[in-house]
Amino acid sequence: MTTATQFAKQQTEIFENRAPKSGAQLLLEAIEAQGVDLIFGYPGGAIMPVYDVLPRTSLTHILCRHEQGCGMAAIGYARATGKVGTALATSGPGATNLVTAIADAYLDSVPVVFITGQVPSDLMGTDAFQEVDIVGITMPIVKHSYIARDPADIPGMVAEAYFIAGEGRPGPVLIDLPKDVANAVTTERHRWRPYPKVKPEMGTSENISRAETLIRAAERPLFYIGGGIAQGDGVAELRELVERTEIPVVSTLKGLGSLPSDHPHYLGMLGMHGLKAANYAVQECDLLIVAGARFDDRATGKLDTFAPGAKVIHMDIDVAEIDKLRRADVFLDGSLKKNLSALDPFKDEPYEKAQIEPWRELCYSRRSMYEWDYDAPGNGVYAPKLLHDLSRRAPDSAIFTCDVGQHQMWVAQHCYFDDPKDHITSGGLGTMGFGLPAGLGAKLGAPDRTVITVSGDGSIMMNIQELQTLHRYGIPLKIVLLDNSALGMVRQWQEVFFEQNYSEVNLDDNPEFSKVAEAFRVESFVVRERSEVDAGIDRLLAADGPILMHVKIDTMENVWPLVPPGRSNADMMER
Amino acid sequence: MTELQRDKTFESSGVSGTLKVVLHDVSGTLLRTLGTIERRGYDYRDVHCTQRVDGDFDLLVRIEDIGGPRNLDILCKQLERLYNVVSAEKVGRRKRAERA
Ligand SMILES: Cc1ncc(C[n+]2csc(CCOP(=O)(O)OP(=O)(O)O)c2C)c(N)n1
Ligand SMILES: [Mg+2]
């Protein structure tokens, strides 16, 4: 990702190159200049000038079968590689099909540049064919956006777009390119006024030492970590600090893998489907050290009952998160990596571990007490056990992407992660249809790693067309389809909170997924019984090409524990 | 409003005040700013915008919350997160009750 200095240098270089070029050429060359080699896109009228130039560039273009697939593939690519992703679409319906992906990238802080064609400038505002105001539509869900009005602006604009997408708290940036601007040839280059904001590098030394004082005084301290650890490149620093202080850790959905799942100080995921040991620890801690997390309601439950007796140290690169939902006693803004490595509470004083020993014992004894039980009655496939076994047998470097629903929570609860980039899930937006395109994007970004998509029978249908993209490019993605013939998560809520009034959640008319896969020329097989699971995992992991394992599971299986919405995390319901 | 929020950081419904926001002249600069104010739970009552000699804009906007716990400092930080916003600060602030 571009640094501020590189960005400034790029702006000067752009100004010096004055060969006559079209807007479309300038766009694609500027993208290449960012070091991008792979883009996801779908052509159409308004973006045709760009597609006309595309074959003459070094860019590899992946044609997904729906613009939403392009957007989510770009997200999967960005999350697996740590680079900025790129997605391209035409105006009107092409652009609106990107909207869900843009929102997904916004809520999960994923750096992606989205480029849309637009009707010619003179037709803008006339309700022209395939005209929508995509900049207006997406204004609340982008980090920034542009309408390119002059080809001479494009090189500087593109460099700034990639810079903004990746800097600070990452996020999506949109460039809307009218067709006439793409066609217009110019020798001009406009110097782009650089707006990068000056942000503090890290918390003040005064706040660092106040945080250290709080840590030294605490008897029941706890780390509450989130997606910011991975995004702020703070994994190693977090692990080092945790090992130095021996303070227990709970994680959000997005923070999973920041500590290995079997790390001695790790208690598990907190929140609505969190582990009991993790939720109880939050309730009882006297100091919450929040790193790259934002008090999301799925993590906190009823906010005023969350960590009621705790002081709060909040570290986040986005100052707008600090004090937003819970007042911080000490805040450390700027780089999480730098803040985590600066914190050294016991540098001058010997570490009185005895002070937190009873707390640690309580936390760890609860962790053993509430270990998962993988014994389930009957012969049917028990999804949590399947996922547990699959993730232990897959290579350590395997990446899991998933869709949204019960299967997503089972992945979070039962799979083993030792790096946050190993777990790619739609956390903030909770977007059904995310898993398959994100998986193919991740596999293209990390071709040497095993990538497994865990999907549900509801979710997979939302972007099922991307099976064709797997076939077209021979992308060896491994799909585990957990088919409970239901919109399982909604069904579970209707069972538990709506007195079993099941309404529009039954999917027992699902297509034969293995035949669907076959029609897309993707290898597929069905697992119906528990006794078939081991061989199924073998076949899945051994496959050379794309493969779909269709697993039939019990409709009535639920995700436990469950904190009812609006209730305290202490009120966990169980089986 | 939650118990834990009932401290100096948050105020119950009835927050109003005037913000001074400096904006760069980029496309949609006013929309982005006013849109953020609305989406974050405030109505605007009065909007004044003038262009400065350096090309930036001074925006003065009087706002009132639409209910719920609100904090104008956080709104200012949320505005400053926008790339078209140079700075955002409170210039006046009263509780509605006190005005009565
Ligand atoms: C695009 C979208 N529409 C609707 C929802 C609401 N929703 C959340 S989970 C869920 C059910 C998902 O069903 P499935 O993919 O089969 O997963 P399961 O819960 O059965 O494992 C629904 C409808 C959503 N999250 N995203
Ligand atoms: Mg299902």
Round to whole Å and give the CA distance between B23 and B49. Answer: 10
The verdict on A158 and A252 lying in the same domain is: no
Does B83 contact A144 at a Cβ distance shorter than 8 Å?
yes
The verdict on A314 and A259 lying in the same domain is: yes
Chain B neighbors of A318, CB-CB under 8 A = 81
Round to whole Å and give the CA distance between A196 and A218. Answer: 39
Does A304 contact B28 at a Cβ distance shorter than 8 Å?
no
The verdict on A249 and A289 lying in the same domain is: yes
**In this predicted model, what pLDDT tens digit does every residue of B49-84 receive, in sequence order?**
999 999 999 999 999 988 777 889 999 999 999 999
**In this predicted model, what pLDDT tens digit does every residue of A299-352 receive, in sequence order?**
999 999 999 999 999 999 999 999 999 999 999 999 999 999 999 998 887 777
Q: Is A153 exposed, middle or buried (0-12, 13-18, 19+ CB in 10 A)?
A: buried
Give how far Cα A59 sits from Cα of A35, A39, A491, Å.
10, 7, 44
The verdict on A426 and A354 lying in the same domain is: no
With 90 as the cut, is the pLDDT of residue B92 above it?
Answer: no
**Among A413, A432, A492, which is best to mutate for testing ligand 1, by the most ligand atoms less than 8 A from CB?**
A432
- Cross-chain CB nearest to B4 (options A147, A304, A322): A304
- Cross-chain CB nearest to B27 (options A147, A193, A303): A147
A570 within some domain = no
Q: What is the CATH number of the domain that holds A294?
A: 3.40.50.1220
State the pLDDT at residue B12: 56
Domain boundary among A336, A369, A402: A369
Does A195 contact B83 at a Cβ distance shorter than 8 Å?
yes
Chain A neighbors of B28, CB-CB under 8 A = 135-136, 139, 145
For residue A489, which atom of ligand 1 is closest to its CA? 19
Is A9 in the B-facing interface, judged by CB distances under 8 Å? no
Round to whole Å and give the CA distance between A440 and A446. Answer: 10
Say if residues A554 and A380 touch (Cβ distance below 8 Å): yes
User: Number of structural domains, chain A?
Assistant: 3
Domain boundary among A186, A215, A248: A186
Is A324 in the B-facing interface, judged by CB distances under 8 Å? yes
Instruction: Name the residue type at position A163.
Output: F
B57 within some domain = yes
**pTM of the full predicted structure?**
0.95
Q: SS3 for A330?
A: strand
Residue of A nearest to B37 (CA): A140
State the pLDDT at residue A269: 97
The verdict on A166 and A251 lying in the same domain is: no
Q: Counting ligands in written order, which one lies closest to the CA of residue A491?
A: 1
Chain B neighbors of A143, CB-CB under 8 A = 83
- Cross-chain CB nearest to A323 (options B3, B24, B74): B74
A572 within some domain = no
To the nearest whole angstrom, how far is the Cα of A329 from the nearest Cα of chain B?
A: 11
State the pLDDT at residue A7: 81
Q: Phi-psi category of A285—alpha, beta or left, where left has phi over 0 and alpha has psi -120 to 50?
A: beta
Instruction: Name the residue type at position A320.
Output: A
Residue of A nearest to B79 (CA): A320
* Residue B15 β-bridge partners: B95
Round to whole Å and give the CA distance between A116 and A473. Answer: 24
State the pLDDT at residue B9: 55
With 50 as the cut, is the pLDDT of residue B99 above it?
Answer: no
Instruction: Name the residue type at position A354.
Output: A
Orientation angle between helical segments A488-497 and A406-414, nearest 10 degrees: 100
Joined together, the tokens standing for residue A381 give 């496939």
A574 within some domain = no
Confidence at B15, pLDDT banded by 50, 70, 90: confident
A568 within some domain = no
A435 within some domain = yes
B98 within some domain = no
Chain A neighbors of B83, CB-CB under 8 A = 143-144, 164, 195, 197
**In this predicted model, what pLDDT tens digit does every residue of A181-192 receive, in sequence order?**
999 999 999 987
The DSSP secondary structure of A409-473, one letter per residue, reads: HHHHHHS--SSGGGEE---SS--TT-HHHHHHHHHHH-TTS-EEEEEETTGGGGSTTHHHHHHHH
Domain boundary among A155, A186, A217: A186
The verdict on A36 and A163 lying in the same domain is: yes
B58 within some domain = yes
State the pLDDT at residue A575: 84
State the pLDDT at residue A353: 72
Confidence at B16, pLDDT banded by 50, 70, 90: confident
The verdict on A143 and A167 lying in the same domain is: yes
E strand segments, A167-286: 172-178, 185-186, 221-225, 249-251, 266-269
- Write out the catalytic residue numbers of A: 67, 129-130, 179, 489
Chain A neighbors of B32, CB-CB under 8 A = 139
**In this predicted model, what pLDDT tens digit does every residue of A127-150 receive, in sequence order?**
999 999 999 999 999 999 999 999
Residue numbers of A between 461 and 520 with CB closer than 8 Å to B: none
Say if residues B97 and B28 touch (Cβ distance below 8 Å): no
Distance A486 CA to ligand 2 centre (A): 4
User: Number of structural domains, chain B?
Assistant: 1
Q: What is the CATH number of the domain that holds A391?
A: 3.40.50.970
To the nearest whole angstrom, how far is the Cα of A109 from the nearest Cα of chain B?
A: 13
Domain that holds residue B29: 13-91
With 50 as the cut, is the pLDDT of residue B5 above it?
Answer: no
A261 within some domain = yes
Is A319 in the B-facing interface, judged by CB distances under 8 Å? yes
For residue A431, which atom of ligand 1 is closest to its CA? 26
A471 within some domain = yes
Distance A487 CA to ligand 1 centre (A): 6
State the pLDDT at residue B11: 59
Mutate to test the interface with B, among A145, A150, A169, A176 (most CBs of B within 10 A): A145
The verdict on A357 and A413 lying in the same domain is: no
Round to whole Å and give the CA distance between A23 and A46. Answer: 13
The verdict on A402 and A543 lying in the same domain is: yes
Round to whole Å and give the CA distance between A168 and A82. Answer: 13
Q: Give the pairing type, strands B57-65 and B15-23.
A: antiparallel
Is B92 in the A-facing interface, judged by CB distances under 8 Å? no
Residue numbers of B between 47 and 76 with CB closer than 8 Å to A: 71, 73-74
A176 within some domain = yes
Length of chain A, in residues? 575
Tokens 């994007």 belong to A441
Distance A458 CA to ligand 2 centre (A): 5
Does A140 contact B35 at a Cβ distance shorter than 8 Å?
yes
The verdict on A22 and A122 lying in the same domain is: yes
Chain A neighbors of B84, CB-CB under 8 A = 144
- Cross-chain CB nearest to B74 (options A193, A195, A324): A324
Q: Which residues of chain A have pLDDT under 50?
A: none
With 60 as the cut, is the pLDDT of residue B6 above it?
Answer: no
Domain that holds residue A541: 383-552
With 70 as the cut, is the pLDDT of residue B98 above it?
Answer: no
B99 within some domain = no
State the pLDDT at residue B100: 35
Q: What is the CATH number of the domain that holds B35?
A: 3.30.70.260
